[in-house]
Amino acid sequence: MAKVGVVALQGAFREHREAFAALGAEVVEVRTPADLSGVEAVVLPGGESTTITRLLDLSGLREPVRQCLHAGTPALLTCAGLIVAAAEVLDGRPDQVPLGVLAVRVRRNAYGRQRESFEAPVRIAGLAGGPFPGVFIRAPVIEATGPDVEILARHAGTPVLVRQGRLFGATFHPELAGDLRVHQLVLQEV
């Protein structure tokens, strides 16, 4: 049984816990560096990237989480979690230093007021079973990707699901979709 560590400092971590548990994984909530022990896959959830970034520093988790992701531990990075892991963040707070492990440039809250939150079907490359129900909530836009980043899905022309090795980054919220296929993709990497 795979052991999944869900970083549980702020945001939608419970929903991720439930999704991975439904797939039969053992799930632990990660709040301290010791909680990462034995973890085979990591989740950085959606929420508020400025807050999550600050709490990573306060909890001492920044460096252990960064190392985990850098070492290629399978990971699911959603929305704020994607922002936290990114190489470059635009429209962030000045003190918001991302982990710099996922080679993307993201712009926070980039869909604009009218489209702050929306749902749209997302076609994911190689995923059987039809489009994935994309739930976008004050989502960032991925403006650029590095050479090792594969784009698995786009919405309105911009990437919304990317993969770099075993790191999966989504600008939408697969944990709120009632569809476990993205979580399954990550588990397959364990």
Give min distance, CB of 176 to ligand GLN, in A.
9
Q: Is 79 a catalytic residue?
A: yes
Q: Is 175 a catalytic residue?
A: yes
Active-site position among 79, 155, 183, 189:
79
DSSP letters along the chain, please? --EEEEE-SSSSHHHHHHHHHHTT-EEEEE-SGGGGTT-SEEEE-SS-HHHHHHHHHHHT-HHHHHHHHHTT--EEEETHHHHHHEEEEES--TT------EEEEEETTTT-GGGSEEEEEE--TT-SSS-EEEEEES--EEEEE-TT-EEEEEETTEEEEEEETTEEEESS-GGGTT--HHHHHHHTT-
Q: Is 68 a catalytic residue?
A: no
Residue numbers at the binding site for ligand GLN (CB under 6 A): 46-49, 79-80, 83, 108-109, 137-138
Give min distance, CB of 165 to ligand GLN, in A.
22
Give min distance, CB of 125 to ligand GLN, in A.
23
Closer by beta carbon to ligand GLN, 44 or else 149: 44
Closer by beta carbon to ligand GLN, 2 or else 101: 101
Catalytic amino acids? 79, 173, 175
